[in-house]
Chain A
Amino acid sequence: MADHSSHDPLAGLRFDRVPPSGTYGADGEPGVTVTIPETPFIALVVARNGFAESVTGRLGRAFGLEVADRTGAAIGAAATVVGTGPGRFLVLSKTEPDLAGTLRALLGSEAAVSEQDDAYVTFDLAGEKTPDLLAKGALIDIDPRVFLPGDAATTVIAHIGVTLWRVDEATWRLLVARSLEASFTRFLIASGAAFGLRLENGTAGRG
């Protein structure tokens, strides 16, 4: 892995390419580790008018989760359900290749379902400096005493639209529109370099 420890951690990196895996910024144990996990299957569920409550209940029963119609992430072995708007949910699964089809069969005419597999790139951030990094770009309070595991938000970070949730004590997951992967990765590096940042995205300058 490349070692990018110069004064400017982005020096020499093309602005329109995803920066390569490596360690950036401060020496020593990295304060933040960024990984791009194997892309989960993603689908968007939008309850039709009057069916929000029913859809919420069906999603919860189908995946064995406590799903509520509010901002929040219900995290389970089979799926994660994230509220992004009234009656609207992002569903992620690592095990359901035809997730949209499964959801259509489950919800019938009560919801509109659209496949989003390629829409987002997933960033997993871990390490005790993660909230400090995110705070440099966030407009919301993501202090770990306030933003608890299972909390979620759809907001902007560094002027880029993000849906994020706290998976557990140490891990935060962020969904970013795929075409903004390079820009968002540059934000992570620029803002995480002070703490030391390890990036593991499996790419070497992919556009």
Chain B
Amino acid sequence: MRIPCPYCGERDAHEFSYLGDATLTRPDPAAADAEQAFHDYVYLRDNPAGAHEEWWYHANGCRQWLRVTRDTRTHAISGAAPARKSGEPA
């Protein structure tokens, strides 16, 4: 499997480490239902057959986090974008 890093170009998946679902949002820790929301955020994952947005870290390359769109059935990768938007705080 090869991942098209926006900075480095197409690279073997061995250069990356995988984090998982990139669509989750960290819950508000001050909310009344924070305990349940954090349980779901930390432990519960869908297992979609098809397109999946996920985080990959290019550890052995540019050392940037990427948001990758991968088809879980075929491993076909349709896109990879930097996680950090230029100009946003690090």
Residues of A near any B CB (own CB < 8 A): 49-50, 52, 70-71, 84-86, 88, 139-140, 153-156, 161
**Which residues 38-90 in B have Cβ within 8 Å of A in the complex?**
60-64, 82, 86-90
Q: Which residues of B contact A156 (CB under 8 A)?
A: 14-15, 60
CB-defined A-B contacts under 8 Å, sample of 27 = A49-B89, A50-B86, A71-B7, A71-B8, A71-B9, A84-B62, A85-B61, A85-B62, A85-B64, A86-B7, A86-B62, A86-B64, A88-B62, A139-B11, A139-B12, A139-B15, A140-B9, A140-B11, A140-B12, A153-B8, A154-B60, A154-B61, A155-B11, A155-B15, A155-B60, A156-B14, A161-B60
Q: Which residues of B contact A84 (CB under 8 A)?
A: 62
Q: Which residues of A contact B60 (CB under 8 A)?
A: 154-156, 161
A85 touches B14 (CB 8 A): no
B63 touches A85 (CB 8 A): yes
A85 touches B7 (CB 8 A): yes
Closest Cβ of chain B to A52, distance in Å, is 7
A91–B44 alpha-carbon span in the complex (Å) = 45
Chain B residue nearest to A88 (CB atoms) is B62
A161–B63 alpha-carbon span in the complex (Å) = 12
- Count residues on chain B whose CB falls below 8 Å from chain A CBs: 18
A159–B8 alpha-carbon span in the complex (Å) = 18
A87–B90 alpha-carbon span in the complex (Å) = 13
Q: Which residues of B contact A85 (CB under 8 A)?
A: 7, 61-64
Q: Which residues of B contact A86 (CB under 8 A)?
A: 7, 62, 64, 82, 86
6 interchain residue pairs of minimum CB distance: A85-B62, A139-B12, A156-B60, A50-B87, A154-B61, A49-B90
Q: Which residues of B contact A70 (CB under 8 A)?
A: 7
| CB within 8 Å for A154 and B8 given contacts A85-B62, A85-B64, A86-B82 | yes
A155–B58 alpha-carbon span in the complex (Å) = 10
Closest Cβ of chain A to B12, distance in Å, is 4
B7 touches A49 (CB 8 A): no
Since A85-B63, A155-B15, A156-B15 are in contact, a sample of 17 more A-B pairs with Cβ atoms closer than 8 Å, ordered by chain A residue number, is A49-B89, A71-B8, A84-B62, A85-B7, A85-B61, A85-B62, A85-B64, A86-B64, A88-B62, A139-B11, A140-B11, A153-B61, A154-B61, A154-B62, A155-B60, A155-B61, A156-B14
A52–B63 alpha-carbon span in the complex (Å) = 16
